Amino acid sequence: MASTAATSRFSRMLSSVGLRRNRLNKIDGFQKVLYVLLTLIGLFMVVPIVFLFTNALKPVQELFIFPPRIYVEDPTLQNFKDLFLLTANSVVPATRYLFNSIVVTTLTVVGVVMVSALCAYPLAKHKFPGRDLLFATLLLSLMFAAETVNIPRYLVVSNLGIMNTYLGHILPHLAAPVSVFLMRQFVDQGVPNELLEAAKVDGARELTVFFRIVIPLIMPAVATVAILTFQSAWTDLTTSRLFMQDESMKTFPFFMNTFVTGGATGIARQGVMAASGLVLFLPNLLFFLFFQRKVIATMAHSGIK
């Protein structure tokens, strides 16, 4: 029996290899050239990421080699040690900035996903007076750059009395028209009306329909919004500049920015700059790789080609 099973597995492997060869043989010359070209372009786009990793592991003497090298000859973790030891004895250590970024980004992602979904669902599946006007206003808000609303945001945060709090970091991000638009389009095209009506006929309440039917069906949109929000919140330093006067409430991007604007860009700090750049970039990369499969499905349903 064991030999029969092994033989069958071997035959399946041979058949799969044969299918792959047939597929390769069907590819014409233009497609082969196109695959090679796309592969080269992909490798070229990976070079900055590789350089970011290797640069953070370079000792000081390798950081100033000209022309710069992509690879590292003598990798070291000293740059990361210097990053966290640099402010270990100061009033606000680097770990505090990093902790603030983690807390703010996590709460912001959860808040934006929930607020956007709660806004998108009635816009897509409920009829109420002013719905079209509200959606048109949402589309109009996509035209404004974030810098144009900094003064209104400051006035709102100041009047609410949430300066120097985590809520002061989170609240400005909750108004996310792009996220609402993506989710609205996905709910409109990806959630059948018949399914919602059947659930309501069976006695399901509105919140039950939303959390047990709508949310599971729009998970690709949720993942896309989570990626966009994470990238925006993790790298944002505007809230730290405008709303946080207490140094202990500022985030890691603001701390990293002090190396550039605070005159701390000398030879002794280049390794710290490289390490902090990798710390700031790596969570973005990992978060995107974890959810990136959902992005294409969302774009297809939202009408973005």
Closest CA to 158 of 148, 144, 172, 147: 172
Tell me the residue type at 142.
L
Spatial separation of the C-alpha atoms in residues 32 and 247, rounded to whole Å:
56
67: cis peptide before it, omega within 30°? yes
> Is the four-CA dihedral 271, 272, 276, 279 of positive or negative sign?
positive
190 contact partners, CB below 8 Å, separation of at least 6: 217, 218, 221, 301
| Tokens found for residue 19 | 């299918």
Spatial separation of the C-alpha atoms in residues 281 and 52, rounded to whole Å:
9
For the chain, domains (ranges, CATH) are: 28-76 (no CATH), 94-302 (1.10.3720.10)
Residue 3 has pLDDT above 60, yes or no: no
- Other C-beta atoms lying within 10 Å of the C-beta of residue 232: 18
Global pTM reads 0.77
Spatial separation of the C-alpha atoms in residues 231 and 252, rounded to whole Å:
13
DSSP 73: S
How large is the average pLDDT for residues 151-172? 89
pLDDT at 109: 93
Residue 9 has pLDDT above 80, yes or no: no
pLDDT of 60-105, one tens digit each? 777 777 777 777 777 778 778 777 777 666 677 878 888 999 999 9
CB 276 within 8 A of CB 87: no
4 — pLDDT class (breaks 50, 70, 90): low
Helix axes 270-291, 252-261, angle to 10 degrees: 140
Residue 25 has pLDDT above 80, yes or no: no
DSSP 304: -
Spatial separation of the C-alpha atoms in residues 183 and 117, rounded to whole Å:
6
Residue 40 has pLDDT above 90, yes or no: no
Residues present in the chain in total = 305
How large is the average pLDDT for residues 148-153? 84
- Element of type H or E holding 256: helix 252-261
pLDDT at 114: 93
305 — pLDDT class (breaks 50, 70, 90): very low
Please report, for residues 114, 202, 213, 215, the alpha-carbon distance to residue 210 in angstroms, rounded to integers and kept in the order given.
11, 15, 6, 6
Residue 120 has pLDDT above 80, yes or no: yes
Among 21-30, 33-42, 56-65, 133-142, name the one with the lowest average pLDDT: 21-30
Residue 2 has pLDDT above 50, yes or no: no
| Tokens found for residue 98 | 């990093």
258 contact partners, CB below 8 Å, separation of at least 6: 264
